[in-house]
Amino acid sequence: MTITVVNPTQQRLADRVSGLTEEVIVGTDYFLVDVEVRGHKGTRVVEVYIDSEDDVGHDDLALISKEVGFLLDVEDVVDGSYKLELSSPGIKRPLTMPAQYRKNVGRTLRVRFEANGNEEIVVGGLADADNEEIELQLPSRERLQLSYTAITQARIELPW
């Protein structure tokens, strides 16, 4: 999970939202991917991204959003008014967790990674993913194994 923040207040809010979200989704197939907090007191936007190794259901998202929002209000986590947005990461957001890679085996990825002090970018089919690394099938038929620590960014490559 990554938490994107800009200042210490947003960091505290993101940490608290993360904890409450984890409480809501414990025991489900869902996992927390990211929490982003933007704006200032009275205009905050709290974005929570959750995913699952299976498909993410809209009804489940609505229920989780309702429960997270309830806890945020009851525990008065966000000072002033705010907007809570809870969704799956979507195809445009980078992959950040091994479970997201496993979910996308068979899809084409654009991966930026560090190799020998240089940054490289490859596009290939995600052939395999475990908790330590991924394996890409490159257009040349070569297979490339990359540890998650070497990957600086990976996104699903759209076919168009």
- Overall CATH class of domain 98-156: mainly beta
Question: Cα(40)–Cα(82) distance, rounded to whole angstroms?
Answer: 9
Q: Where are the domains of the chain?
A: 2-87, 98-156
Does the domain at 2-87 match CATH 3.30.300.70? Answer given as: yes
pLDDT (tens digit, 9 = 90+) per residue, 117-130? 899 999 999 999 99
Q: pTM above 0.85?
A: no
pLDDT (tens digit, 9 = 90+) per residue, 91-147? 888 999 999 999 999 999 999 999 888 999 999 999 999 999 999 999 999 999 999
Q: How buried is residue 74: exposed, middle or buried, by Cβ count under 10 Å (0-12/13-18/19+)?
A: exposed
